[in-house]
């Protein structure tokens, strides 16, 4: 019997996320089991065929989260200056 195909899953970061929460290797059956109590649609799970694709996706998501935080900091600073 052939070894099952491996997949990589990536989800959006949260403030409390660890690396293992954000990206992991699985099989189709494993992902199906994980979906029972695992990633929700709000986490935007995406499946990748290679580790490299998954890490590129994770990098984009983390940069996006950092950009969002920078925007919030600017907004908070602007509100503080207006007071």
Per-residue pLDDT of the chain (83 residues; tens, 9 = 90+): 555 588 999 999 988 888 898 999 998 788 777 777 777 788 888 989 999 999 999 999 999 888 888 887 888 888 777 66
Range of the domain at 53: 6-14+21-82
**Quick count: other Cβ atoms within 10 Å of Cβ 49?**
11
In this prediction the pTM is 0.70
47 inside domain: yes
Structural domain total, the chain: 1
1 inside domain: no
66 inside domain: yes
42 inside domain: yes
């Amino acid at each position: 019997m052939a070894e099952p195909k491996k997949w990589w899953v990536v989800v959006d970061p949260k403030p409390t996320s660890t690396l293992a929460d954000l990206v992991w290797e699985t099989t189709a059956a494993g992902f199906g089991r994980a979906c029972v109590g695992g990633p929700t649609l709000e986490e935007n799970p995406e499946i990748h065929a290679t580790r490299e694709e998954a890490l590129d996706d994770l990098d984009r998501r983390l940069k996006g989260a950092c950009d969002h935080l920078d925007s919030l900091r600017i907004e908070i600073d602007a509100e503080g200056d207006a007071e």
